[in-house]
Amino acid sequence: MASRSPTVIPRPAGIFDPVARALEVMGDRWTLVLVRHLLGGDRGFQELRVRTGIAPRVLSSRLRDLAAAGFVEARAEGTRSVYGLTPTGRSLEPIIASIARWWVRQGLDHLEIDTNRFTETSAQSILESLPFLLREDRVQGVDVTFEMRLTGPGGGVWSVHIHDGRCDVRPGFAERADVRYTAEARVWCGVALGIVDARDLYKRGLITKDGGREAMDHYFMQISRPAAGANGDAMRVPAAATRARERSRK
């Protein structure tokens, strides 16, 4: 009986596999995370740390790797250095958008994501993720601008413009806002993640809405929906805050 030739296991680098070879270039997960944040504009080292939570030594190493691969370049901005994307780095935008939308949609259907784990998230991180949460079937032909006025830690002002099937989020006041929302940043984060029910917060005056009838939740997906009677323990709103709002309206 003829002996069978042993199966030859090839070296991974010797196999033509576009997915594997592309991942070799991109490196680990921090590559796409950093590119995702740089897609919004040039960032300094400390800002990237705050946005990502990456340890300083790891961040420094990853930025060097990204620069060596031609994805990122350091630029002078006044007296400091910032990091920005090269055309090659910006070419990763469709990949990043696809990954984000996959996670959101699988999170809705299969992954059973517990949004209570995101208690350290910021309003900025959620707002800048809105383009990935867009309900594409509801935005065709829509032209509406929301202005978000969020107070307290992590607060600020942002404009959210939906137009031509796209969503643009920018810091600052809107030139022409159709709808304005006002809330504490922590309260709004709880609503946006589906941890708390917005209806109760509207009744208590913790979220106010001015302008047209359009509602943001009509155009964006939530990772989860609050259960009946959910009070959002992870982002509980103190009763004192409710009383303060009531006094301010008198």
Crossing angle of helices 45-52 and 56-68, rounded to 10°? 110
Q: Across the chain, what does the average pLDDT equal?
A: 84
DSSP code for 220: B
pLDDT at position 108 = 65
What b/e readout covers 140-149, taking b as 16+ CB neighbours within 10 angstroms?
Answer: eeeebbbbbb
Q: What average pLDDT score do residues 213-219 get? A: 91
Q: What average pLDDT score do residues 226-250 get? A: 46
Confidence of residue 246 (pLDDT cuts 50, 70, 90): very low
Residue 132 and residue 107 in contact, taking contact as beta carbons nearer than 8 Å: no
Q: Is the pLDDT of residue 237 over 50?
A: no
Confidence of residue 245 (pLDDT cuts 50, 70, 90): very low
User: Rounded to an integer, what is the distance from CA 227 to the centroid of its chain?
Assistant: 23
The Cα–Cα gap between 219 and 137 comes to 9
Give me the residue label for tokens 């042993």.
6
Confidence of residue 241 (pLDDT cuts 50, 70, 90): very low
pLDDT at position 70 = 94
Walk me through the domains of the chain, giving residue ranges and CATH numbers. Answer: 13-90 (1.10.10.10), 117-249 (3.30.1050.10)
pLDDT at position 3 = 62
pLDDT at position 239 = 42
Q: Is the pLDDT of residue 240 over 70?
A: no
**Higher confidence at residue 77 or residue 104?**
77
Q: pLDDT (tens digit, 9 = 90+) per residue, 41-100?
A: 999 999 999 999 999 999 999 999 999 999 999 999 988 999 999 999 999 999 998 888
Considering the chain, what percentage of its residues have pLDDT values greater than 90?
A: 52
Kindly tell me the burial class for residue 71, based on how many C-beta atoms sit within 10 Å of its own C-beta (0-12, 13-18, 19 or more): buried
* φ/ψ (deg, to 5) at 75: -135, 150
Q: Is the pLDDT of residue 196 over 90?
A: no
Please give the model's pTM, rounded to 2 decimal places: 0.76
**Higher confidence at residue 70 or residue 226?**
70
Confidence of residue 194 (pLDDT cuts 50, 70, 90): confident
207-211 vs 143-151, strand pairing mode:
unpaired
120 phi-psi bin (left φ>0, alpha ψ -120 to 50, beta other): alpha
The Cα–Cα gap between 5 and 3 comes to 6
Residue 185 Cα distances to 14, 64, 151, 213, angstroms: 51, 34, 6, 22
R_g of the chain, CA atoms, integer Å? 22
Q: Is the pLDDT of residue 123 over 80?
A: yes
